[in-house]
Amino acid sequence: MILAAAVTIFIFILFVASFRNGQTATAKSQGLGSTKHFNEPGAAIAPKLGNETAKAELGRAAWKVLHTTFARFPDKPTQDESEALRSYIHLFQRLYPCGDCASHFGELLKKFPPQVSSRSAAAAWGCHVHNQVNKRLKKDMFDCANIGDFYDCGCAKDEKEEKDSKIKDKGKGKRNH
């Protein structure tokens, strides 16, 4: 249930982020001005989450989504991809369903801005920030050297990579006469 909520939040954030470079049609037609840039922490939208069990489950699911996102981020992202991840992190913070948690995460984002220059930078940043949360909650620190082992990206080749690989394999071992 919590994982489904985290995935729903992720999809919603991606939808909202798609409008980050301009105004929505509604905003333009109503004269509401430009939309806020999503490259900085903002006020938490959700109220306090009082159920400690739900808060803990949500936290575990959220970290799983974030760390998996970082593990699947490109090694050499384009500027657009880097900005998309930066925006996603800031929107994730604002929309997180636990208002207190979102506020605390916003403070961490101000102190430790997202590192989005590469997959390894994003993963290391995510681990560092996660450990800052663990420290605040008096939990054990995670060895960031093992982050890739713990949060496996589950990566698979896409269709283009599969096709390129098959073409290379066909050419091996055969001679053209």
> Mean pLDDT: which of 42-46, 58-62, 161-165 is highest?
58-62
For residues 114 and 116, give the distance between their C-alpha atoms in angstroms, rounded to a whole number.
Answer: 6
pLDDT, tens only, 125-159: 999 999 999 999 999 999 999 887 777 667 777 67
Average model confidence (pLDDT) across the chain = 79
- CATH code of 2-22+53-157, in short, is 1.20.120.310
CB 61 within 8 A of CB 6: yes
Across the range 8-30, mean pLDDT stands at 43
DSSP string covering 31-94, please?
Answer: T--PPPPSSS-----S-----HHHHHHHHHHHHHHHHHHHHHS-SS--HHHHHHHHHHHHHHHH
Count of beta carbons in the 10 Å neighbourhood of residue 11: 10
Lowest mean pLDDT among 36-40, 162-166, 168-172: 168-172
Rg of the chain over all Cα atoms, to the nearest angstrom: 20
For residues 59 and 119, give the distance between their C-alpha atoms in angstroms, rounded to a whole number.
Answer: 22
pLDDT, tens only, 92-129: 999 999 999 999 999 999 999 999 999 999 999 999 99
pTM over 0.85: no
Residue 172 confidence (pLDDT) above 80: no
Which amino acid, one-letter code, is at 38?
F
